[in-house]
Amino acid sequence: MAAASATTLSVGSATTFGSILSSKSQSNTSAVKYNTRNYLRNFSGLKAEAFVRCESESSFLGRESAAALRQSITPNAQIGKQKSWNHVWPQASYKVAILGAAGGIGQSLALLIKMSPLVSSLHLYDIANVKGVAADLSHCNTPAQVVDFTGASELANCLKGVDVVVIPAGIPRKPGMTRDDLFNINANIVKGLVEAVADNCPDAFIHIISNPVNSTVPIAAEVLKQKGVYDPKKLFGVTTLDVVRANTFITQKKNLRLIDVDVPVVGGHAGITILPLLSKSKPSTTFTDEEVQELTVRIQNAGTEVVEAKAGAGSATLSMAYAAARFVESSLRAIDGDADVYECTYVESNLTELPFFASRVKLGRNGVEALISSDLNGLTEYEQKALEALKPELKASIEEGIAYAQKGIVTA
């Protein structure tokens, strides 16, 4: 979907970078540097970097993982037989805050973001138990500096100067829990955290993970409007997990190479509002009617699949952290000047009559640069019917979130 980024990641005792950088990255003074003659299209599926080489066998990846990475390297198109390379020294220069960093998603997400070469400072916030997470994570030999913040009194300091805020805070879905149960608790949590974001880093990209995303993103939008700092281009519902699952399930079903597979997923982020557009999948793949229905239903119910498999011990924390890390990395690449970054995400939209809608978007320095409307053209009869069927449910969730924020209800 997106081209490889301008920066790279390799962790070891003697590593070097090579890439095209924004002026902001060039001006930073971090000592970590990378160099290679190979392009890496994708780091662990996060679509994070170009030019990666694991020069040290003491890398945290280990020999087998490093070998696997090398096998996934494919060169970009070269002009003629040109063998010269322009090398500059990129530096980590962005601050990311995770609100809810001590939770099941937050801890794994923090680890993945700590690995990003674009992150200079990682701020971890939670109401309790975050100091130990930060201490543990700070021992990882990657450039990002980890700082912990505990409780409401430290939230403002956590957010000052942050470029990207990620909000996984809230309770996970448990067996037997209704959507209303989840909404009544998480809506208030998101409302309070977004108020703090509006007061302390109103220009930051805001990534909402807390469910139900179909409602919590409209809540966040209303809070930002009330604060006079709403920028629809910078507010995102993280639906990347639906894409990750679609890519994985289709790869398994059709025996494809995972690195080649990309499926746009539109609509919302719950049940039937999740609509994978299998007819738009890349590479172009033929599905029977039975396969379309089977894959669509599995992608829509994948969260329940994990909840039931964990038998009350949790929800989809690891895959959600992985997907969120991919979206954070894409956002940072866009902020850093990469002109070819595309992701599916739930945003304010005019692609349908609904005020919010998940679709593929082009990301840039200032957030959403374009909504990719072409994905909704030429849908199959099955997809068109599914699109119309999801709209009433998604509309109700959006209206519920807006009404909650406008009334200022405190429930949790």
Residues tagged active-site: 269
Residue 132 CA to its chain's centroid (Å): 25
**Which neighbouring-strand residues pair with 282?**
262
Pairing of strands 119-126, 205-208: unpaired
Sequence-ordered strand ranges (E) for 316-372 = 341-348, 356-364, 367-371
| Integer Cα distance of 293 and 287 in angstroms | 10
Pairing of strands 94-99, 119-126: parallel
**Which neighbouring-strand residues pair with 364?**
367
Cα→Cα distances 94→122, 157, 335, Å: 9, 16, 9
Provide DSSP, 184-239: HHHHHHHHHHHHHHHHH-TTSEEEE-SSPHHHHHHHHHHHHHHHT---GGGEEE--
Judge whether 360 and 275 are in contact, CB under 8 Å.
no
Judge whether 51 and 39 are in contact, CB under 8 Å.
yes
Judge whether 19 and 90 are in contact, CB under 8 Å.
yes
